[in-house]
Amino acid sequence: MLEPLYTADEARAAEEGHEVAELMERAGAAVAREVLQRFPDARRIAVVCGGGSNGGDGRIAARILREEGRDAVETTAVEQADVIVDALFGTGFHGEPREEAAATIERINAAGAPVVAIDVPSGVDASTGEVATAAVRAAVTVTFHGRKLGLAIAPGLFHAGEVVVADIGLRQAETENRLATAAILTLVPRKRPEDSKYSAGSVLVVGGAPGMTGAACLAAEAAFRADAGYVAVAVPEPSLPVVETKLLEPVKLTWAGAREAADKARALAIGPGLGRDPAAKAIRDELIAGGAQALVLDADALHELEPGDWGPRAVLTPHAGELGRLLGEGSAWVDAHRLAAARRCAERFGCVCLLKGADTIVAAPGGSVLIALADAPGLATAGTGDVLTGVVAAFLAKGLEPRLAAAAAATAHGLAARGLPQRGLIASDVVSALPGVLA
């Protein structure tokens, strides 16, 4: 349910004690095999090699391709190639490529031919996914032994294309960071015959200011569809008629009754459509300080949020802009340093930070992360973050500890969206698809 994600140091450690030449031969053969299978009609193959072991892998791949009758040559003259093999840098690369190497990378990207990258696309940091300047945009990355962490984190994720993990005969090792798979959903407790609606998972959603009632409604509906047994929604009094009309199953109440309702809930989802006026800040602060419930803080609940002793029971779910404001950084900095940003947030607030994106990063204090890959571009639409908040709250209410609840929720959210048409997808579509992925 959790696949290893290797840093450069962890990958090197896995290779210790093995004959380098033998590993390179296996790696080069794996790359050649992938090129032949994916591009059977390709005749001219340009292999761009660096000076390290990654370049050695490329030269072996070129030799095998020639043995198979292909015109495979080591060259930087890539413009007429049918396929380009990127063997310039390997997992040891970090920082900025030198000027000549950067020019070669830009030449590869401009050639218009599909690129097969060896281990990691050149220019991508294998341990962080960061790209300082230029980086190869691959159609396929053939990585060895296990997926590298930088292939699962943007912007490296977006340079890697399809990732193929090739077995080169190494033993699997423990890694600090891991990729969540669909199997993580087996950890979500199912309703038992002896459960009541409260013991099956009780959630209170707090938000829904006028003009933003849809956010609270989506979170509440998602919590029910994620198998919570009881959901209540607290909104400002002017919003109550709207949610009374929109929502059928949840209990509806005003913010004046939120404290009493929170005492019946095992998890609080605060923020969807909350607003930023003094009353919104007051209800947030009262609820997070006033009980022992698990917390999901999203959207407006993150505005001007300060650390508190509630951290160990909380999951924060920011997007890049919200996280930047929490850290005093711009959203562009977060986009460029997503791993570091999520870890900083987890340490600062002493809680789980779920940084939303195609590479949802779940960071806990101490540095280790879980990654959930959505592979669902249709999630880039309004309201899907509110849906995720509801799912996290439901899983917390069912008793999952915050880190696993966040990773499992991001996985369910992505799977639900992935099974739908991506064009025209709306948030309520994802809500409706949730039971299917939890079956």
CATH number at residue 148: 3.40.50.10260
**How confident is residue 51, by pLDDT bands cut at 50, 70 and 90?**
confident
Name the β-bridge partners of 44.
Answer: 71
Residues 299 and 377 both lie in one domain:
yes
Question: Does the pLDDT value for residue 317 go beyond 90?
Answer: yes
Last residue of a domain, one of 175, 193, 212: 175
Say if residues 287 and 267 touch (Cβ distance below 8 Å): no
Give the CATH number of the domain where residue 226 resides: 3.40.1190.20
Specify the pLDDT at position 227: 98
Q: pTM score, two decimals?
A: 0.96
Indicate whether 269 and 378 sit together in one domain: yes
> Rounded CA gap, 48 and 102, in Å?
13
Residue 429 pLDDT: 98
Residues facing 5 on adjacent strands: 177
Q: How many domains does the chain have?
A: 2
| Same domain, residue pair 264 and 370 | yes
Q: What is the mean pLDDT of residues 246-253?
A: 98
User: Which of 153, 175, 197 finishes a domain?
Assistant: 175
Same domain, 307 and 340: yes
Q: Are residues 369 and 409 in the same domain?
A: yes
Give the sign of the dihedral formed by CA 367, CA 372, CA 378, CA 383.
Answer: negative
Strands 352-355 and 314-316: parallel
pLDDT of residue 76: 96
How far apart are the C-alpha atoms of 34 and 115, rounded to whole Å? 12
- pLDDT higher than 90, residue 439: no
| Domain boundary, last residue among 156, 175, 194 | 175
Alpha-carbon span 407 to 403, nearest angstrom: 6
How confident is the model over 281-296, as a mean pLDDT? 95
| Averaged pLDDT for residues 333-344 | 98
Distance (Å) of CA 172 to CA 14, 175, 181, 368, 370: 8, 9, 17, 18, 18
How high is the pLDDT of residue 73? 97
On whether both 204 and 133 belong to a single domain, the answer is no
Q: Which domain holds residue 158?
A: 2-175
Mean pLDDT of 41-50: 97
Same domain, 95 and 64: yes
